Amino acid sequence: MVAHAEIRVVHLGGSKINFREPVITNDSRFLLCASGESVKVYSSSSEECVHDLQGHTDLVSGIVRNPSNHLQVYSCSADGTVRLWDFTDGILIKTFIIGYPIYSIYVSENHGGVVFVVVPMANDKSSELFQLVAVHLPLSGDQEVEARELSAVLCDVSPSGAASFGRKGEYIAAVKGLQLEVFFFKNQKSHRFFLKPGNKKGAKNAFTCVSCHPKEDCIATGHEDGKIRLWRNFNQKKEYTYSTLHWHHGAVNTLQFTPEGTNLLSGGIESVLVQWHYTQENQKDFLPRLGGAITHIAVSPDGSLFCTSHSDNKITIIQSCVKVSAIIQGLVKGEGVRTDLTIDPRSKALVLNGKPGHLQFYSLHRDKLLYNLDIVQQEYIHEEGLDQFEVVKAAFDTRGDWLATVEERTQKGSELEINLKLWAYDEQTQSFMLNTTVTAPHEDQIIAMCFSPSPEITMLVTISFDGHFKAWLLADHSDTKEGASWSCDFVGGYHHLKPGCCCFSADGSLLAVGFQEVVTVWSPSWELLTTLSQPPGAIRELCFGRLSCSKYLLGTSTKNQLCCWNLLTCSLEWSTPVDVSLLQADPLSENMAAFCSQSGCSDLFVFKPGEPRPLYSQKALCTGKVQRAVFAPRDQMLESCEEHAQWLNRSQLYFLTQHMDLMTFSTKTEEDRLLASSKLLMVDDSVAVTPFYLLLGKHRQQQEALTNPMAERIQLPQGSIAIKELLYTPAHVLPSASFLCSMFVRSLLISSSSASETKVLQHTLPFKSLGSLRNVLVFHEMSCKMNRKYSQDVDKVINNDF
Amino acid sequence: MASFKSTKIPIYPKLGEKVTPDTLYWKNYKAPVQIKEFGAVTSIDFSSLAPHNYAVTASTRIHIYGPFSTEPVKTFTRFKDTAYSGKFRSDGQLLVAGCEDSVVRLFDVSGKVALRVFKGHTKGVHVTDFTSDCYHILTGSDDYTCRLWDIPNSTELTSYKEHTDYIRCGTTSKLNRDIFITGSYDHTLRVFDARVEKSVMTMDHSQPVESVLLYPSEGLLVSAGGRYVKVWDLLKGGQPLVSLKNHHKTVTCLSLSSNGQRLLSASLDRHVKIYNTTNYKVVHNFDYAASILSLALAPDDESIVVGMTNGVLSIKHRKSPEEKREMVGKQRMQPVYRIFVKGRNYVPKKDDFLVSKPVKSHLAKYDKQLKKFNISKALDTALESWRRNRKPEITVAVMKELDRRGTLKNALAGRDEQNLSQLLNFLIGNVVDPRFTPVLVTATEMILDIYQAVVGQSSVVDRQLVRLQELVEREVDYQQDLLEVLGMLDTLFATSLPRKEVPCPGSSR
């Protein structure tokens, strides 16, 4: 980051939007959610992101409505600030500096000027204990205010959303572990209620969430074993009571009372939104199959909209507990990207596995999820401990006509289930259609697969741990009714060694398969052409050079070597001892990107196989290993003159770090362009007076002055009169619209006789008043019909007449 | 809120032949009509005249059948011995036939007594044919000679004695009156020109030739002998073009379909094979009950007539288009529910407000149960007898789905004797099916785990368990045998494969 100031590593969108409970505004028009270091404002009807409230410097950990102003929200962040925003205009109003990392925020209508935040007990990040403190927000006109007036309310609370204000803000209830604590503000006393761990009969009594009834003294708590307890009479230490509701089979993740308290909403891993009727607890409504596990539920203040956030980075907006009205989907990254990052050649979207059993197509330019493709096509059972089918590999052919996916399911004590699916792009539906399913294509896991780039043949090669590689060909059964389908063409192997990687040359004339230490090179007719080997170390990745460097084959080995073979002489051209964790070739140029891991950091080298000097290198790119990377072609070529930034001209390099952050490289010219395009939107008359403006502004004013007289001349007086006539005449005396229309259109035309005609009309008006408009109109039309040549004569005649 | 995704029933690739236009065409024949003749049917010939009667030569007589009759229209019985090769003249008026007693007889189709009798051969005559000018007759005999006879004078014109064995097949050119081709058991095919003393072309089939056939263009010649069918290019001086070996017994007869696009060969192995004449690949196959000696196709492939060694004449007629349509019509008539159609054809008016009703997706019974997590009931519906017997893949798919949900054990448990025996029956029927084995083995193991406590309480279940055990043991034996065979084959292939040197970077330097 220091070496080249012009190229910066930047975070790309696709951050979590389900981290904390979303907030629906009072008028139900907007939905706010924490998304990484910013707060996003979405329209609840159109699903579009309206504003991106940026200002926090660390993870945003909570959002609440300002109870005293319904157009403002508070947000808190781990950077130790609480910020007040106007979300309709996207303006930061105030920043309150607390000084401790904040993990959640609560407010109550009855505690004006106070926010309740969860901060660590000791002022260091390693602390495991958290406390709830009340912060009095000082009234001051400054943008940045320090709020140091803290008073502890509850100690030892859980850091995330397990507290709730009771009726009229009289008490606050918080849960942690096996303890429910209720703090009464009136007498500043807290009551604690404990449950037994209860291991018998599978009961797990640990609390997971809490919600207080807004109108009555009742606290609902959710538990790990799926039970919901309704606590009453808790202002006594001993005579408290609770009743139990049980429907969920997994833990209750979230609970929420509706604003009137008539219903209780609960959600968990089953992905079913359950609506319990408060007085008749045995009656409940369900909204099933919402997506991933429900993590948060939010209700709009008027109770008309619910929204649920899900574990698969999704927010669902539900209208009156019946209909899903909108879905806001973020990039799903899960625990790991098992499919490599790939680029769909058609939509230029980033493709990776998303929701369980789905592939997601994510537009990098718009930072928006385009669509999810259901690969597994099976009902997803939301249950912990089940082995589900997972999409593990995906590959596109060069034109984007075919997509190959591999899904697998490992099951304890039984065989591995693998399906290879081939999808054809359908022009009509603009999506991929399943063409062929191959069950158990290999006896073991598929390690890698790639399509042949040659335009004549549609071929896929898969390699597997069972020691074979298979070539799949699209066979056209034109003589039968079935149409084209895929079948296995060739099974190859090399001395029963396990293959590790495969790669086609750019023209599809060679296939290289790495079998441990040996690289085998095959022709399209499945002849073993040659073997290359550079022990020690098994081959980890293979990559053919492109364009002018197509005679080179690059390979990385586990023993920290990067080798380059010349395919014409079948000999090693060069090799260098670097620990390359990832090798990527740019599909549009000769460039190669190698990510090297060194002492816990990742370095990047961009080089051409034929040149000894790297084009670009950057040390300490990020901490940890780079997991995946991909070159995405640009929409339009960048014209950058700096030598070390030229490799970013045609395509952009995206990579995923160990912490699943999607990053990219951006150059100065690109940022300038982005800035310009964003400026274009706001540019109005609010241009500041700069030397540039002084130079250009004067010129522009002159131009305006020049154009203005023209504009005035276009404004035809006769037109305005005709319109006036139209507007002021009573409707019942007006002629038919078709008649008026032609007149009206003509009145807008510029005619050479306009000046004279105005005169005529001005004359007419005093004599024939409004009552005889028809005559005027007829006359008007007549005069228009007249030849231009005679118009003046006619004028004279008419003048004489009058 | 996504809708419920129904259980995927895998579509297994259909075994056996693929449905091609050829199979559709050649399957479009009615069930064969069978007529018992007195002896082996050695020759069948269609008249080229309108009703297309055909002459069937069997034993000592020739029957002439009408296109749709099962009784002979006419019979020629004036043969002293076995008759051979009853052939119509191209105008359909005359019929010639050879005989084991070496006499060739010429009949008027409407008469009974022979018009002409040609004597001269010394042994049985197996080959007779008219030349294209209709005035001469070609004969080939077991006395190794072939002769040309003049019909008006009933005299012998020429005699060729070039073959060194029985002449058993021959044909005349339809374009040139002087050219004819004979095939003999001396493995040769000879082309003769009546204007020349000797044969003009000789081809070696290297098997006793049983049948020859000229293409309508007469550029290509097809011969059959032994297990081979060979195609020769006459225009290139008798160059062999293709050699086909698709039968496993002697090929006895050849025929062309009416448009010349398909070649048919009949063999003693009881098959008729149909070849595409552009790439000479077998496109269809007919099976018959006995070894086939003769085969003929009516013009336009209206019927296929096959004569067999057991004296049965099998006639297949093409289905008429009306019949075909009837079949299709019947199928279409079935699902008519007027109640569902009601109001469907209503066209909304211009300013009507359309309220779209959500389309209700239909779920199968087992899916409905799966949707409600009623696992035992889902398995019960999947095990309904017709589904179990007709579509075992559905039952297996539901079992797989239950296994995926981790609830197969619960679904299998708690069944009574009748239910359990049903389940075991299904397993016995399908557990060794390679498509279903992975799923059913887990199910079987679970059943054995669950019900091992109650073994011995019901004789029915015990008997089935014993059967299942036997089945599995037998299957294991098969697998072992197969693996042994595979190992043997591997060694064989390894020894026969030539060692190929792979260029090595080390050696190049």
| pLDDT above 60: residue B300 | yes
pLDDT tens column, A519-538 = 999 998 888 888 888 777 88
Over residues A186-200, the mean pLDDT reads 81
Q: Is A414 on the interface with B (CB under 8 A)?
A: yes
From first CA to last CA, the distance across chain B in angstroms is 67
Pairing state of beta strands A144-146 and A91-97?
parallel
CB contact under 8 A, A479 and B21: yes
pLDDT tens column, B429-477 = 999 988 898 889 999 999 999 998 888 888 999 999 999 999 999 999 9
pLDDT recorded at residue A704: 53
Question: Model confidence at A683, in pLDDT bands (50, 70, 90)?
Answer: very low
Interface A-B, measured as beta-carbon pairs within 8 A, has a size of 67
Question: Model confidence at A776, in pLDDT bands (50, 70, 90)?
Answer: very low
Which residues in chain A are contacts of B10 at CB distance < 8 A?
437, 439
Lowest-pLDDT range of A117-131, A786-800, B89-103, B179-193: A786-800
Question: Model confidence at A754, in pLDDT bands (50, 70, 90)?
Answer: very low
Q: Alpha carbon of A455 to those of A347, A396, A489, A506: distances in Å?
A: 20, 14, 18, 11
A273 three-class SS: strand
pLDDT tens column, A327-385 = 888 888 766 788 888 999 888 899 988 888 889 898 887 777 888 899 988 888 877 77
* Among A407, A501, A399, CA closest to A452: A399
pLDDT tens column, B206-218 = 999 999 999 988 8
pLDDT recorded at residue A768: 42
| pLDDT above 80: residue A65 | yes
CA angle B159/B164/B170 to nearest 5° reads 60
Which residues in chain A are contacts of B20 at CB distance < 8 A?
479-480
CB contact under 8 A, B19 and A379: no
Mean pLDDT, chain A, integer: 80
Q: How far is A161 from chain B (nearest CA, A)?
A: 26
| pLDDT above 60: residue A678 | no
Q: Is A416 on the interface with B (CB under 8 A)?
A: no
Which residues in chain A are contacts of B503 at CB distance < 8 A?
529-530, 570
Give the sign of the dihedral formed by CA A120, CA A121, CA A123, CA A126.
negative
**Percent of chain A at pLDDT exceeding 70:** 83
Residues ≥6 apart with Cβ < 8 Å to B206: B187, B226, B228
Does pTM surpass 0.80? no
Lowest-pLDDT range of A221-225, A553-557, A694-698, B294-298: A694-698
pLDDT recorded at residue B187: 92
Decide if B239 contacts B248 (C-beta within 8 A): no
Q: How far is B10 from chain A (nearest CA, A)?
A: 9
CB contact under 8 A, A477 and B8: no
Question: Model confidence at B290, in pLDDT bands (50, 70, 90)?
Answer: very high
Q: Is B358 on the interface with A (CB under 8 A)?
A: no
pLDDT recorded at residue A1: 37
pLDDT recorded at residue B170: 93
* Among A782, A776, A764, CA closest to A735: A776
Lowest-pLDDT range of A640-649, A789-798, B251-260: A789-798
CB neighbours of residue A194 within 10 Å: 10
CB contact under 8 A, B504 and A381: no
Taking only residues 343 to 402 of chain A, the set having a beta carbon closer than 8 angstroms to any beta carbon of chain B reads 374, 377-379, 381, 383, 385-388
Residue A294 burial (CB < 10 Å; 0-12/13-18/19+)?
buried
CB contact under 8 A, B503 and A529: yes
- Print burial letters for B36-75: b (CB count within 10 Å at least 16), e (below 16): ebeebbbbbbbbeeeebbbbbbbbbbbbbbebeeeebebe
- Among A247, A379, A478, A571, which would you mutate to test the B interface (most chain B Cβ atoms within 10 Å of its Cβ)? A379
pLDDT recorded at residue B126: 93
Asked, as a colleague might, if the bond just before B498 is cis with ω within 30 of 0, I would say no
Q: Is A478 on the interface with B (CB under 8 A)?
A: no
For residue A35 the two structure tokens come to 């998304």
B476 three-class SS: helix
Decide if B125 contacts B140 (C-beta within 8 A): yes
pLDDT recorded at residue A710: 45
Q: Is A736 on the interface with B (CB under 8 A)?
A: no
A242 three-class SS: strand
Q: Alpha carbon of A138 to those of A98, A114, A149, A655, B107: distances in Å?
A: 11, 9, 9, 44, 129
| pLDDT above 50: residue B171 | yes
Helix (H) or strand (E) holding B330: helix B321-333
pLDDT tens column, A458-516 = 899 999 999 899 999 988 766 556 678 888 888 988 888 899 899 999 888 899 999 98
A699 three-class SS: helix
CB contact under 8 A, A378 and B8: yes
Decide if B396 contacts B379 (C-beta within 8 A): no
* Nearest neighbour of B4 by CB, restricted to A374, A379, A415: A379
* Nearest neighbour of A414 by CB, restricted to B19, B20, B442: B442
Quick one: closest CA in B to A377, which residue?
B5
Q: Is B348 on the interface with A (CB under 8 A)?
A: no
| CA gap B184, B178 in Å, rounded | 20
Q: Is B347 on the interface with A (CB under 8 A)?
A: no
Q: Is A488 on the interface with B (CB under 8 A)?
A: no
Quick one: closest CA in A to B370, which residue?
A379
CB contact under 8 A, B10 and A437: yes
